[in-house]
Amino acid sequence: MTKGHWLESGSKSRSALLVIDVQNDFCPGGALGVPGGDEIIPGINLLSGRFPVTVFTQDWHPQDHLSFASNREEGVPFEVVDAGYGEQVLWPDHCVQGSHGAGFHADLCHDMADMVIRKGMNPAIDSYSAFFENDRITPTGLEGYLRTRDVERVICVGLATDFCVHYTAVDAARLGFQVVVPEDYCRAIDLDGSLAAARGAMTGAGVEIIAPAD
């Protein structure tokens, strides 16, 4: 099959597009801007009308969120600490509830969403995945919604490949969905080799990664 087989008409049946965290703070100029994060928006806008179900996600943190380095004494951005439920990267303040940075990028056609999942609202637990908080137990409700829509396959796009896209894709595969991650529609932070690690984890979980077009 060609690289575009995941977009062929027969493959759309019972599929959902998951658009992960295309928010101002994750785009260039934002508090945690992903290089080239805004470059994927035109392609995502075109994809949004091609699948029966489209779900958008937003990081939606309270100001006192434990993942913010500013909320820890001597906290250093990008340092990894033990958060009780596992390792946690300390981030610059980002996607604070109701802020401009938490909003969808102005060029993103988010009115195509059938549902918007907001995650990371609990100040004591971060949430990379669209399916579970980082304790790996607390659900967001996304799985139940997709089951009621008879979804069998999910296409994961957005920001960032090595964090929220990665965790969402692995959880989707663990829950029994077929999962595709087309990298032309994602961008990565690549923090200390995190992109290579994420690709390995996704492949190991059975996720189909579609390499960028030449």
> Active-site residue among 21, 93, 126, 162?
21
98 in the Ramachandran plot: left (φ > 0), alpha (ψ -120 to 50) or beta? left
Round to whole Å and give the CA distance between 40 and 161. Answer: 12
Backbone angles phi, psi at 162, to 5 degrees: -90, 0
Asked about 3 being catalytic, the answer comes back as no
Give the HSE-up count for residue 22: Cα atoms under 13 Å, Cβ half-sphere: 28
Pairing state between β 178-182 and 208-210: parallel
> Active-site residue among 27, 95, 164, 186?
164
> Active-site residue among 95, 119, 171, 186?
119
Asked about 186 being catalytic, the answer comes back as no
Asked about 12 being catalytic, the answer comes back as no
Instruction: Check if the beta carbon of residue 209 is closer than 8 Å to that of residue 202.
Output: yes
Round to whole Å and give the CA distance between 107 and 188. Answer: 20
- Beta partners for 180? 155, 208
Find the largest Cα–Cα distance for the chain.
54
Catalytic positions: 21, 119, 164
